[in-house]
Amino acid sequence: MKIKSLLQKNRRNSLTVLAFVVVVAAGYFLSPVLSPETKSLSQNDDTVLISAEKALPEDAEADVVQDKDGKELLTPGLREKIGQMLVIGFRGTDLSQASFISGALDDLKPGGVILFDFDVPSQSFPRNIVNSEQVKKLIADLQSGSSVPLFVAVDAEGGAVNRLKSKYGFIDVPSAQQMGKESADNTRLQGETLGKELAYLGFNLDFAPVVDVNVNPQNPVIGKIGRSFSIEPQAVIEHAAAFIKGLEKYQIITSIKHFPGHGSSASDSHKGITDITESYKAPELWPFQELIKSGLAETVMVGHLVNKNIDSEFPATLSKIFINKILKQDLGFDGVVVCDDLQMGAITQNYGLEEAAVRMVAAGCDLLIISNNVGVYDETAPYKARDAILRAVESGGISKDSIEASFIKIENLKKKFGIIE
């Protein structure tokens, strides 16, 4: 059966999303036109934000339950469950310097933190990372200061994107592009070496590997700086799988990124909207599809990528079509969905922080990153995001069940990797 002609024949009666998945399976370029059915999916007729003057939900605080012996126990309330959906950044190389994060661990109870070497808003060094022993102590103190064990995350891909640089005394990890030129066994060994160091330091989550296919070698944020394993999707799959296995040997959680594929883009979503409508090629989805199928995708990071053929209104991070329909339903991903940094230009130039946070959760995101390390440093940002999500639950824009589902996924992931018992 000729998939291409079948799609043309049934275009008016088929969802563009279904066409997207079928085309990917066949390996053709994306070229569908939005059908009326898909357009209706992309419109958010429901109002997900409510006025800041509204009171927070009554059950936002912890609930009191009794165990089998009648002893009263506190279970996480809605406020705390939403806090677990946040990974936040902060300034400070030790906890005594970092008064913001000390307070946030107590009252925000975030699911995790993310560490950086360089502070982008102030263009200064150091941010959190100076050397091995300093990082190890900082992470130990963060975990001691948190009532709920944390995801402690880092961007350690190798090459240009690695917060643990060799000039600070950490191991030197080659770029994905370099690894892609060697054997997959070598890539696995590189993953093991990195995983051993991350585990020693106390990290448990690495936002890596990049599984974007190097469709555009001049892509300023992927191809040009060596972040893709290969121009060949199968090579990307093999090397990414090997890198994940290497990291997981040392109980490091990984995150394949940037769904649905950033490799063909010609711009940087840190700086503004990245539109892949005309450049996206179907094989860019294959690595996500295959790694999910193989069970190696513990988390998937969604990128701020616009494809108007699929969702004419929202980037993937805010899109129910991309997250709930394609990623979860069509590709069968049931793990933790991570949305790329809320403070990147693609979002801040087009949406308010609170609106973006609510739309991400409504679209199906489980874990939100607020790094405070893109354009601005705003210690109120995580609180604003949490409270906006709380109000959206009260307004009906987000269901309590979806918050509960995200909380359980996060809790189960932490249990699986020994972060909590």
- The larger pLDDT score, comparing residue 32 to residue 128, is at 128
Q: What is the mean pLDDT of residues 291-318?
A: 97
pLDDT of residue 375: 87
pLDDT of residue 273: 77
Percentage, residues of the chain above pLDDT 90: 77
Mean pLDDT is lowest, of 38-42, 356-360, 410-414, for 38-42
- What's the pLDDT band for 270 if we cut at 50, 70, 90? low
> Cis peptide leading into 258, omega within 30 of 0?
yes
- The larger pLDDT score, comparing residue 409 to residue 36, is at 409
Question: Domain limits of the chain?
Answer: 1-42, 48-416
Residue 206 predicted with pLDDT over 50: yes
pTM: predicted TM-score of the whole model, two decimal places: 0.86
- What's the pLDDT band for 267 if we cut at 50, 70, 90? low
Q: Using N-to-C axis directions, what is the helix angle for 233-248 and 184-201, rounded to 10°?
A: 40
Residue 75 predicted with pLDDT over 50: yes
Give the whole-angstrom CA distance, residue 208 versus residue 217.
20
- The DSSP bridge pattern shows strands 336-339 and 299-302 to be parallel
Q: What is the dihedral of CA 300, 339, 210, 169, to 10 degrees?
A: -110
- What's the pLDDT band for 61 if we cut at 50, 70, 90? low
Candidates 249, 241, 255, 154; CA nearest to 192 is 249
- The DSSP bridge pattern shows strands 156-158 and 161-162 to be antiparallel
Residue 71: count other Cβ atoms within 10 Å of its Cβ.
8
pLDDT of residue 65: 39
Q: What is the mean pLDDT of residues 372-390?
A: 96
pLDDT of residue 304: 95
pLDDT of residue 346: 86
- What's the pLDDT band for 4 if we cut at 50, 70, 90? very low
pLDDT of residue 76: 77
Residue 243 predicted with pLDDT over 60: yes
- Residue 318's Cα: distance from chain center in Å? 12
Q: What is the mean pLDDT of the chain?
A: 86
Q: What is the mean pLDDT of residues 177-194?
A: 98
Residue 296: count other Cβ atoms within 10 Å of its Cβ.
18
Mean pLDDT is lowest, of 60-64, 82-86, 258-262, 372-376, for 60-64
Residue 326 predicted with pLDDT over 80: yes
pLDDT of residue 59: 56
Structure tokens at 416: 């699986």
Residue 358 predicted with pLDDT over 80: yes
Give the whole-angstrom CA distance, residue 156 versus residue 377.
22
Second CATH level (architecture) for the domain 48-416: Alpha-Beta Barrel (3.20)
pLDDT of residue 38: 36
Residue 62 predicted with pLDDT over 90: no
Mean pLDDT is lowest, of 68-72, 106-110, 159-163, 168-172, for 68-72
- The larger pLDDT score, comparing residue 48 to residue 125, is at 125
- The larger pLDDT score, comparing residue 29 to residue 415, is at 415
Give the whole-angstrom CA distance, residue 302 versus residue 338.
6
**What positions carry a catalytic annotation?**
270, 340
Residue 199 predicted with pLDDT over 90: yes
pLDDT tens profile 7-60:
333 333 334 444 454 444 444 333 332 233 333 333 344 444 433 344 555 555
